[in-house]
Structure 1
Amino acid sequence: MVSLGDLLSIALKIEASGYEFYSNLSRQHSDSLQKFFSDLAEQERQHQEIFRKLIEDDKKKNASLSNWIEEETAGYLKSLADVSIFPNIEKMKTNMTSQDALNFAIGVEKDSIIFYSELIPYIEEEKQIIKEIIAEEKRHLMDLLSIKL
């Protein structure tokens, strides 16, 4: 079985990669996109801190049975991260046009929303925190889509 802490660690890695990606994009632009990407990077950094705290809280709970995720669900979530999110993040590290970067960022934001939404049934008192992160990721997605158009 997989613990909630294991999946929260994946979420932390997603946010860390997002921070790195948006920071790099911010450095590549000198126009209005610089501030936009810088703001996204800062929000991803804040999400990292939230997931770190959730991981610490999970450890303090001694991984009670309620924090264990069924193998089928855990397998789906790990596959989503391994097949969709992380390969796209790796591609984002390559040199690409702004439009390509926006397309990849849109895909990662969508997959992140799905990943975080799937965590909600397994989180107890922290549900609202995850829902707020999902709302922020949805705003990121909408902002990215508006730039792409």
Structure 2
Amino acid sequence: MWFFRAREIVEFARQIEQKGQQFYRAMAEQAADGRVKEIMLALAAEEKEHEALFTRMLDGLENYNPPETYPGEYEEYVRVLLDAHVFAKDIKPGEIACQAGDPQKALDMAIGFEKDSLLFFYELRQLVPEQERSAVDKLIREEQKHILRLAGQKKVLA
């Protein structure tokens, strides 16, 4: 039995990318180190590219209107799922920017956030009909590429 359609997962991904952009921009504003600021702005730009890709993916996916036992039930459920994701939490970028004072720590933090996204999509993948999983697999591959890029940047700075 499945609970989500691929379109919903792609929409979750798009919203996570929006939150990521906001977070990385706020981190850049708070960064004291110029390299950390540069890295955070680059990450925000990459999140924007992912958001655009995921928005384009929505065009080919079927709409889904799940049954509700009361108005707004499904939206409430989706909000709870998204709030459990690290970018959706009420994070104070200024406080975290202090923790990510050097580029290595900033990249470690970003890799951690991207891993959370990967885990989120892996979990949701099992709740999508088999014939629609390829769309979720595409999201997963994009997040994996992002982690590899971050790891590459980390090696360059080492």
What TM-score results when the alignment is normalised by the length of structure 1? 0.64
State the 1:3 CA deviation.
2.5
Q: Which amino acid in structure 2 is aligned with residue 83 of structure 1?
A: A
1: CA distance, partners of 2:85 / 2:135: 25
Matches within 5 A, 1:128-147: 129-139=138-148, 142=151
Is this contact kept in 1: 2:20–2:44, CA < 8 A?
yes
Query: Which consecutive residues of structure 1, in runs of 5 or more, have no partner in the other structure?
Result: 64-74
Matches within 5 A, 1:1-149: 1-29=3-31, 31-58=34-61, 61-62=62-63, 81-85=82-86, 86-87=88-89, 90-93=90-93, 95-96=95-96, 97-99=98-100, 102=106, 105-118=110-123, 122=128, 123=132, 126=135, 129-139=138-148, 142=151
Is this contact kept in 2: 1:18–1:44, CA < 8 A?
yes
2: CA distance, partners of 1:84 / 1:144: 24
Q: Which amino acid in structure 1 is aligned with residue 48 of structure 2?
A: R
Is this contact kept in 1: 2:10–2:58, CA < 8 A?
yes
What TM-score results when the alignment is normalised by the length of structure 2? 0.61
What SS does structure 2 have at the residue aligned with 1:91?
Answer: coil
State the 1:51 CA deviation.
1.2
State the 1:56 CA deviation.
2.3
1: CA distance, partners of 2:40 / 2:152: 10
Using the aligned pairs only, state the percent identity: 20
CA-to-aligned-CA distance 1:45-78 (integer Å, 9 cap, x gap): 00001111122221xx455xxxxxxxxxxx8x98
Q: 1:35 to 1:104 in 2, by over 3 A?
A: closer
Answer with 1 or 2: which has the greater Rg: 2
Q: Which has the larger share of helix?
A: 1
Q: Which amino acid in structure 2 is aligned with residue 43 of structure 1?
A: E
Q: 1:134 to 1:144 in 2, by over 3 A?
A: same
State the 1:125 CA deviation.
5.3
Q: Which amino acid in structure 1 is aligned with residue 100 of structure 2?
A: Q
Is this contact kept in 1: 2:9–2:121, CA < 8 A?
no
Q: CA RMSD in A?
A: 3.6
Query: Which consecutive residues of structure 2, in runs of 5 or more, have no partner in the other structure?
Result: 65-76
- Aligned pairs, number: 133
Higher relative contact order, structure no. (Cα contacts within 8 Å, ≥ 6 residues apart): 2
